[in-house]
């Protein structure tokens, strides 16, 4: 299935391309835009689209997608939970938080719950070292976490809407 942007998003992509000295430099922001437009993942059709639109080799675009963890290569759940594992978070209990998430969600890191509500991920640094341990849920930070607060967050994701 082919991928295409709406007219409005095409204009946004044009603006992105205009901000950079060359099309290769615009590739990461273009991928972010297309990922958002494609249900939060980069399908093979998105890779082809970005490669053609920026006049780049598909292998270059695919290389970026497979290298950077913020590009989803499979359709994620409705919500993405990122557990920070960098040193500050690790020293303040990130491993305990991660193990708790895996148990409560019933998935390992990289997995998505059976109802497709939550995908569990880890990140090497979410730049919130002073408020460790922390997680990011979609675009929202949750800092200085306890297991009780983590349970409230996960229950909201799993059971509300």
CB 137 within 8 A of CB 84: no
User: Model pTM?
Assistant: 0.81
161 has pLDDT over 70: no
CA 121 to CA 123: how far, in whole Å? 7
H or E segment to which residue 64 belongs: helix 58-67
HSE of 82, CA atoms in CB hemisphere, 13 A: 17
Instruction: Say what the pLDDT of residue 44 is.
Output: 96
In this prediction, residue 96 carries a pLDDT of 96
Name the CATH code of domain 79-159 (choices 3.40.30.10, 3.30.70.1150, 1.10.10.60, 3.60.20.10): 3.40.30.10
Segments making up each domain of the chain, as ranges:
7-67, 79-159
- Which secondary structure element, helix H or strand E, spans residue 99, and what is its range? helix 94-105
**pLDDT at position 69:** 83
The answer to whether 3 and 48 are in contact (CB under 8 A) is: yes
pLDDT digit string, tens, across residues 21-52: 999 999 999 999 999 999 999 999 999 999 99
Pull the structure tokens for residue 24.
């290769």
Residue 39: both structure tokens together: 């249900």
Q: Tell me, what's the pLDDT at 38?
A: 95
Tens digits of residue pLDDT in 89-148:
999 999 999 999 999 999 999 999 999 999 999 998 999 999 999 999 998 999 999 999
Q: How many percent of the chain have pLDDT more than 90? A: 94
142's CB contacts (< 8 A; 6+ apart) are 134, 135, 136, 149, 150, 153
Which two tokens mark 90?
A: 């690790």
């Amino acid at each position: 299935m082919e991928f295409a942007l709406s007219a409005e998003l095409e204009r946004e992509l044009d603006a992105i391309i205009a901000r950079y000295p060359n099309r290769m430099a615009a590739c990461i922001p273009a991928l972010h835009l297309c990922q958002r437009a494609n249900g939060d993942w980069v399908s093979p059709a998105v890779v082809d689209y970005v490669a053609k639109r920026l006049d780049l080799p598909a292998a270059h675009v695919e290389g970026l997608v497979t290298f950077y963890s913020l590009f989803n290569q499979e359709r994620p759940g409705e919500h993405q939970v990122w557990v920070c594992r960098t040193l500050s978070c690790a020293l303040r209990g990130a491993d305990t938080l991660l193990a708790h998430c895996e148990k409560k969600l019933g998935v390992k890191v990289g997995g998505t719950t059976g109802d497709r509500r939550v995908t569990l991920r880890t990140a090497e640094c979410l730049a919130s070292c002073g408020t460790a341990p922390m997680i990011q849920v979609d675009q929202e930070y949750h800092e200085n976490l306890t297991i009780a607060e983590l349970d409230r967050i996960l229950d909201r994701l799993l059971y509300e809407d």
